[in-house]
Amino acid sequence: MLSNEKLKFLRHKFGYTKQYLADCIGCSYDMFKSMEMGRRGIKQEYYDKWIDALYGKIKPSVKQKNKNKWM
């Protein structure tokens, strides 16, 4: 499992926002921020989705896109 620092590095490298990845993995912005900063452990289900989202395998749902103006 990659460290939270490595996940943050990859997020910056791929140019994603915290909100975008939070929407992809199905958690709140605050929860995502806490996981990325290391304040909260990353559950395996979120970790797997996080990696998939970084590599473009998961995108926010249409409902989330409209809600957060991703379109």
Q: What is the pLDDT of residue 61?
A: 73
Domains of the chain with CATH codes: 4-59 (1.10.260.40)
Query: How many separate helices (H) and strands (E) can be counted in the chain?
Result: 5, 0
Contact 12, 21 (CB under 8 A): no
Q: Which residues in the chain belong to E strands, given as ranges?
A: none
Q: Contact 36/4 with Cβ under 8 angstroms?
A: yes
Q: Tens digit of pLDDT for each residue in 47-58?
A: 999 999 999 999
Question: Is the whole-model pTM more than 0.75?
Answer: yes
What pLDDT is attached to residue 62? 60
Other CB atoms within a 10 A radius of the CB of residue 35 amount to 24
- Give CA–CA dist 38/11, Å, rounded: 15
